[in-house]
């Protein structure tokens, strides 16, 4: 090929760009070959709305640094996507993976451990969540891939003392319906119907049962007392 005498320095070297782009194409083809993508995740989602939804509907089961969630039922999503970041997979690929997971999650794994409910969010809400997760998963506060050996610690419920805040941030909302908290989870019993006593809430939150994890290491005794007081006094109201 002939060189133009005064050609400016190229702004990027083809070799730097080619590998990630290729990987992205391969991954996208792989997904398409499964034949079950829920429409193309266009990247048009609203990240701020997606973050709110993630905290309500996903954080009970997933740790994600940016959202401050510490759920441990499902995989840590920073770990799940950090390798994709390091490999340079594009955001749109990660977004499509998240979007597909919401629609086609394994609801009852053969291991007997709790699975992930399908269609927690659909339509534009699902698009917003996928856009949000793809924009932050695997990245630290400065947008660099996290160091899996020394990951940043999500805030979680932190030192929250009031039961309402604990309920909203510890992950209860992802699994339980409670009108007072505006939550619609349906993995566990509807708490408005169950109207549990304070003692029952303390027992479940402390010890877990079946699909309900124990929060012993995650919440202080005072936080468990507070959330139990809140649930037992607001359920069914
Ligand atoms: C009740 C717990 C629960 C909730 C709520 C939940 N998940 Fe999951 N999630 C899981 C489990 C368990 C897995 C692993 C099994 C599987 O792949 O289905 C998983 C897997 C995933 C994966 C795949 C991670 C990987 O390693 O490949 C993504 C992405 C994901 N979830 C995103 C979400 C999003 C987004 C939401 C909210 C809309 C959500 N999850 C809500 C339990 C949950
Ligand atoms: C991953 C899903 C999940 C999360 C997160 C979760 N729960 Fe549960 N919860 C369940 C399931 C499933 C049951 C039913 C357990 C059983 O009886 O087998 C349950 C049972 C309960 C019960 C007993 C209801 C009854 O009448 O039997 C209470 C109370 C309760 N949960 C409160 C909470 C609170 C408060 C939180 C947050 C600190 C929370 N749960 C977080 C899934 C969850």
**pLDDT in the model for residue 3:** 44
Residue 112 structure tokens: 């007997």
Task: Work out the angle at residue 153's Cα, subtended by the Cα atoms of residues 138 and 53, and round it to the nearest 5 degrees.
Answer: 65
Output the CA 176–ligand 2 centroid distance in Å. 7
CATH topology of domain 39-156: Cytochrome Bc1 Complex; Chain D, domain 2 (1.10.760)
Do the domains spanning 39-156 and 163-234 agree at the CATH topology level? Answer: yes
Q: What is the pLDDT of residues 158-191, one digit of tens each?
A: 667 889 988 987 878 878 999 998 888 888 999 9
Which ligand 2 atom is at minimum distance from the Cα of 231? Answer: 35
The domain locations on the chain are: 39-156, 163-234
The Cα-based distances of 7 to 2, 11, 160 in angstroms read 11, 12, 60
**pLDDT in the model for residue 39:** 54
Confidence of residue 74 (pLDDT cuts 50, 70, 90): confident
Say yes or no to pLDDT of 13 above 50.
no
**Across 121-136, average pLDDT:** 94
The Cα-based distances of 183 to 1, 136, 137, 157 in angstroms read 63, 24, 24, 17
Give nearest CA residue, ligand 1 atom 29.
98
CB 178 within 8 A of CB 191: yes
Q: Considering every ligand atom, which ligand is closest to the CA of 103?
A: 1
Output the CA 214–ligand 2 centroid distance in Å. 9
Q: How far apart are CA 143 and CA 49, in angstroms?
A: 20
Q: How far apart are CA 144 and CA 146, in angstroms?
A: 6
**Across 67-72, average pLDDT:** 84
Q: Which CATH class is domain 163-234?
A: mainly alpha
CB 51 within 8 A of CB 66: yes
Pocket test for ligand 1, best of 50, 75, 148, 212 (most atoms within 8 A of CB): 75
């Amino acid at each position: 090929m002939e060189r133009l005498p005064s050609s400016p320095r190229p702004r990027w070297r083809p070799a730097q760009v080619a590998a990630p782009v290729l990987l992205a194409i391969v991954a996208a083809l792989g997904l398409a070959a499964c034949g079950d993508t829920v429409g193309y995740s266009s990247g048009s989602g609203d990240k701020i709305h997606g973050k709110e939804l993630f905290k309500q509907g996903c954080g009970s089961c997933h740790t994600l640094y940016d959202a401050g969630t510490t759920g441990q039922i499902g995989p840590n999503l920073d770990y799940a996507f950090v390798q994709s970041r390091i490999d340079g997979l594009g955001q749109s690929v990660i977004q499509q993976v998240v979007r597909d997971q919401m629609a086609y999650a394994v609801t009852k794994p053969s291991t007997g451990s709790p699975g992930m409910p399908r269609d927690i969010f659909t339509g534009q809400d699902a698009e917003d969540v996928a856009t949000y997760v793809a924009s932050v998963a695997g990245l630290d506060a400065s947008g660099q891939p996290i160091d899996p050996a020394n990951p940043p610690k999500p805030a979680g419920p932190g030192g929250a003392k009031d039961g309402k805040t604990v309920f909203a941030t510890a992950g209860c909302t992802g699994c339980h319906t409670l009108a007072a908290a505006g939550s619609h989870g349906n993995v566990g019993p509807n708490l408005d119907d169950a109207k549990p006593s304070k003692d029952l809430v303390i027992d479940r939150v402390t010890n877990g049962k079946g699909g309900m994890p124990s929060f012993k290491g995650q919440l202080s005794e005072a936080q468990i007392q507070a959330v139990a007081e809140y649930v037992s006094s607001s359920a069914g109201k």
